[in-house]
Amino acid sequence: MKYNFKEITVCEMCGDKTENHKILGQRLNKTQGYKPKSKTGISVGIVKCTNCNLIYSNPQPIPFDLQDHYGTPPEEYWKEDYFEWKPTYFKPQIEEASELISFKKGMKSLDIGAGLGKSMLSMQHKGFDVHGLEPSIPFYERAISKMGIDKEKLKLGSIEELDYEKNTFDFITFGAVFEHLYEPSKCLEKALGWLKPNGIIQIEVPSSKWLMPKFMNFYFKLIGTNYVTNLSPMHTPFHLHEFDLKSFTELSNKLNFSIEKHRYEVCSIYYMPKFLHGPLKSYMKATDKGMQLTVYLRKGDGL
């Protein structure tokens, strides 16, 4: 796999200069395991913005071909039952968004990074006039052939490449996509242009406050390395950023949106004995140190 390595000079979300940001450590281009010193490969620095708490890689590795990262057939990720759609899929997010936009049947929605199209099916089931885009060729093809997505409604390509008419959509979702984008703030600005005034964008991202990486990073220090477990810029799942709520607050000062609603979710626990899972989950829930941050952003008037 071939990469261009881009030096990051300002924070992608808040614009703060990176020269004073905190270096957390290094991340290999493969799973590091418990003995990263025994692994060979190339690594990039993992850095945290001291202003908005965004975690990012510097330099940022950009593949020559996007399909090198996302061209893997979905069958290699999931078993056959994952290709089954149920109306409950993505239902809580749709219900929250529907309340925020005072949903009426026929409203237009856009799924950015639609994957297999399961969220599109759920939004269609709700009554949205649903559209989507997907950059991965295998996922795009399976969404149409296996999931029955209308090819007239699903575009093949990335958000950077594609375009829609301004003020078209009532609801846009990035799902688990925003952390994969090389320039998330520019992509959000573009999506806001497609969104109607007062429309809602829903984004789910890994939280930079998540408690569990801190344990693993402490372990790496104890064994005398400077490796960290944050992000995976050059291996599956190819996460390039971790976000804090302040990352979006700062970005809202540059783009015309407000944070209408947010929540942190604990999700899974790794590396720890099972008897600790209960107390750790309670602590993370009480302190907003769960794995995932979800935000609902409302576009302002006049765009």
Residue 182's contacts (CB-CB under 8 Å, 6 or more residues apart) are 6, 60, 62, 240
Does the pLDDT at position 92 exceed 90? yes
Q: What is the DSSP letter of 7?
A: P
SS3 26: strand
| Number of helical H runs and strand E runs in the chain | 8, 13
Q: What is the pLDDT of residue 175?
A: 85
Tens digits of residue pLDDT in 213-254: 999 999 999 999 999 999 999 999 999 999 999 999 999 999
Q: What is the DSSP letter of 300?
A: P
How sure is the predictor about 302, in pLDDT bands with cuts at 50, 70 and 90? low
Q: What is the pLDDT of residue 115?
A: 94
Place of tokens 């390595």: 5
d(Cα 127, Cα 138) in Å, to the nearest integer?
27
How sure is the predictor about 78, in pLDDT bands with cuts at 50, 70 and 90? low
Q: Are 184 and 212 in contact (CB under 8 A)?
A: no
| Better pLDDT: 182 or 267 | 182
Residue 222's contacts (CB-CB under 8 Å, 6 or more residues apart) are none
Does the pLDDT at position 82 exceed 90? no
Q: What is the DSSP letter of 227?
A: B
Interior angle at CA 253, CA 51 and CA 185, nearest 5 = 75
- Give residue limits of the domains in the chain: 70-205+283-299
Q: Which pTM value belongs to this model?
A: 0.94
d(Cα 273, Cα 98) in Å, to the nearest integer?
39
Residue 102's contacts (CB-CB under 8 Å, 6 or more residues apart) are none
Tens digits of residue pLDDT in 257-297: 999 999 999 988 887 899 999 999 999 999 999 999 999 99
Mean pLDDT score of the chain: 94
Question: What would the CATH number be for the domain defined by 70-205+283-299?
Answer: 3.40.50.150
| Portion of the chain with pLDDT greater than 70, in percent | 98
SS3 258: strand
* Number of neighbours of residue 109 by Cβ within 10 angstroms: 28
d(Cα 78, Cα 74) in Å, to the nearest integer?
6
Residue 263's contacts (CB-CB under 8 Å, 6 or more residues apart) are 293, 294
d(Cα 109, Cα 149) in Å, to the nearest integer?
14
Tens digits of residue pLDDT in 26-59: 999 999 999 998 999 999 999 999 999 999 999 9
Q: What is the average per-residue pLDDT within 140-158?
A: 96
Q: Look at phi and psi of residue 253 and say left if phi exceeds 0, alpha if psi is from -120 to 50, else beta.
A: alpha
